[in-house]
Amino acid sequence: MTELRFPEGFVWGAATAAYQIEGAVAEDGRAPSIWDTFSRTPGKVFQGHTGDVACDHYHRYAEDVALMADLGLRAYRFSVAWPRIRPDGTGPVNPRGLDFYDRLVDALLDRGIDPIVTLYHWDLPQALENQGGWTARETAEHFADYALAVHQRLGDRVRTWTTLNEPWCSAYLGYGNGVHAPGGRDAGAAFRAVHHLLLGHGLAARALRAAGAEVVGITLNLADVQPADAGSAADAAAVRLVDGLQNRIFLDPLTGAGYPDDVLAHVARIVEPDFVRDGDEKVIAAPLDLLGLNYYAPTYVAGRAGGAGSSAYPGTEGGVEFLPPVGPLTDMGWMIEPAGLTRLLERVAADYPGLPLIITENGGAFPDRNTEGTGWVADTDRVAYLDGHLRAAHEAVARGVDLRGYLVWSLLDNFEWAEGYRKRFGIVHVDYLTQRRTPKESARWYQEVISRNGL
Ligand code: FCB
């Protein structure tokens, strides 16, 4: 196969999130988040798993950073836990919470690894949820205050700031279909949450910029939405609806175009959008330096009267059919289609020009074919997944997309939300009984990719 080189300066890294790896949920002043509450609620997370210990990264961060250095990572995307910094969401800043990230950032910089901070990866302080969470407008303001508190401590060393991770999940899975914390099931609340998340992003982006942040961005899980039948008008309408609910509802206001009319009309059939106030769209349109994209799998839809739709896409029930994924699948049951990544990158670059892109997450859950005692974890499936998606990303670059980097999900096996620990996404294996880390075959493969800046 021909050699593929990525542009010079291409950022190679890995990603994690606080609740998924840190553990230490009651240490140094941290208060519960919605995920602590949710994971303790019977029936919400696989076998009642919680993030109480997770990968114990809070105590083992130095070892983990050494591992990153060994793999040659140039960047590390992690999230800051809001309930460590402002445990009750609004009140005094907890310096001990900030101390942890201070130490982490220093350890990264010592090894020449660029820290990429995500300010919100789903762990809302429970105290704020008690006041309405993201359905309450005030949460957006509290988020900006919290963002600023983190910047005040880390801003002298951290260049790249992303406000939110996947607001689609926070809103639609958190408040719409109940699969994620806080477990709400109310379509109107989901749209309210979308707006307040975006508003929180805008307020935080503005505050960060004013405080001197160099690169300000957001990470979205955009969907590559495809029709079941490319020639069908009904399927095209279904694509447009789903694209509106997952992509344009975020991208348009973020890039200054305001909410799309068709999306607003759809929302208005479900809830009166009185939560969108004059001036909000201007706040949401705060300048972006970087757009993070998380891509795992494509979405195929058909327009069909009586179609089951999905409660994760409010208003699709009765008119849209989400096609069951066709193999090969990952252990999450997600379809493996690297071409979807090329399509998505090209589409975003074409419709929202001038915005530098970075893949902030991509990876696959696969059961490890373990090799007990050999110190080797063979994850050939993951290597193939990553290889395919990097080729797809390279294809987009070759076609002119301004893609700046790639961060694999994930550095470590970790707490996979409602799936608990049963799904493994890491390029490094974690033995949860001993907390032993073992780089998998994919980690060694990735190390080689990084050192060659290509495949
Ligand atoms: C994304 C999340 C991330 C991880 C991957 C598999 O939606 O951002 O935390 O769970 O999926």
| Ligand 1, atom nearest to 425 Cα | 6
CA 279 / ligand 1 centre spacing (Å) = 32
Helix (H, G, I), strand (E, B) or coil at 363: coil
Q: Which two tokens stand for residue 412?
A: 């470590």
Contact by Cβ (8 Å): 319, 374: no
- Is the pTM higher than 0.95? yes
User: What pLDDT, on the 0 to 100 scale, is given for residue 27?
Assistant: 98
Pocket test for ligand 1, best of 361, 366, 412, 413 (most atoms within 8 A of CB): 361
* 361 close to ligand 1 (CB < 6 Angstrom): yes
User: What pLDDT, on the 0 to 100 scale, is given for residue 315?
Assistant: 97
* 165 close to ligand 1 (CB < 6 Angstrom): yes
Contact by Cβ (8 Å): 428, 447: no
| Ligand 1, atom nearest to 221 Cα | 7
User: What pLDDT, on the 0 to 100 scale, is given for residue 241?
Assistant: 98
* pLDDT per position as a tens digit, 36-95: 999 999 999 999 999 999 999 999 999 999 999 999 999 999 999 999 999 999 989 999
User: What pLDDT, on the 0 to 100 scale, is given for residue 372?
Assistant: 64
CA 410 / ligand 1 centre spacing (Å) = 9
Average pLDDT, the chain: 97
Residue 58 in marked binding region: no
List Cβ neighbours of 282 (8 Å cut-off, separation of 6 or more): none
Mean pLDDT of 374-386: 91
Residue 161 in marked binding region: no
* pLDDT per position as a tens digit, 104-161: 999 999 999 999 999 999 999 999 999 999 999 999 999 999 999 999 999 999 999 9
In order of their start, the domains of the chain are 11-452 (3.20.20.80)
CA 325 / ligand 1 centre spacing (Å) = 18
Mean pLDDT of 336-348: 98
CA 234 / ligand 1 centre spacing (Å) = 31
Q: Which two tokens stand for residue 200?
A: 């929180």
**Omega of the bond leading into 310 within 30 degrees of 0 (cis):** no
pLDDT greater than 60 at residue 284: yes
Mean pLDDT of 418-426: 98
pLDDT greater than 60 at residue 378: yes
Pairing between strand 114-120 and 75-79?
parallel
Residue 352 in marked binding region: no
Residue 195 in marked binding region: no
User: What pLDDT, on the 0 to 100 scale, is given for residue 374?
Assistant: 73
CA 334 / ligand 1 centre spacing (Å) = 13
Cα(123)–Cα(34) distance, integer angstroms: 6
* pLDDT per position as a tens digit, 228-252: 999 999 999 999 999 999 999 999 9
User: What pLDDT, on the 0 to 100 scale, is given for residue 12?
Assistant: 98
User: What pLDDT, on the 0 to 100 scale, is given for residue 371?
Assistant: 64
* 221 close to ligand 1 (CB < 6 Angstrom): yes
* 243 close to ligand 1 (CB < 6 Angstrom): no
Mean pLDDT of 405-422: 98
| Ligand 1, atom nearest to 365 Cα | 6
Give the residue numbers marked as catalytic.
166, 361
Residue 221 in marked binding region: no
pLDDT greater than 70 at residue 265: yes
* pLDDT per position as a tens digit, 195-230: 999 999 999 999 999 999 999 999 999 999 999 999
Q: How confident is the model at residue 375 (pLDDT cuts 50, 70, 90)?
A: confident
User: What pLDDT, on the 0 to 100 scale, is given for residue 1?
Assistant: 55
Cα(270)–Cα(263) distance, integer angstroms: 11
Q: Which two tokens stand for residue 331?
A: 């252990």
Phi-psi category of residue 170: left, alpha or beta, with phi > 0 → left and psi -120 to 50 → alpha:
alpha
Q: What is the 3-state secondary structure (H, E, C) of 165-234?
A: ECHHHHHHHHHHCCCCCCCCCCHHHHHHHHHHHHHHHHHHHHHHHHCCCCEEEEEECCCCEEECCCCCHH
User: What pLDDT, on the 0 to 100 scale, is given for residue 368?
Assistant: 80
pLDDT greater than 70 at residue 2: no
* 18 close to ligand 1 (CB < 6 Angstrom): no
For a pLDDT cut of 90, what percent of the chain falls above it?
Answer: 97
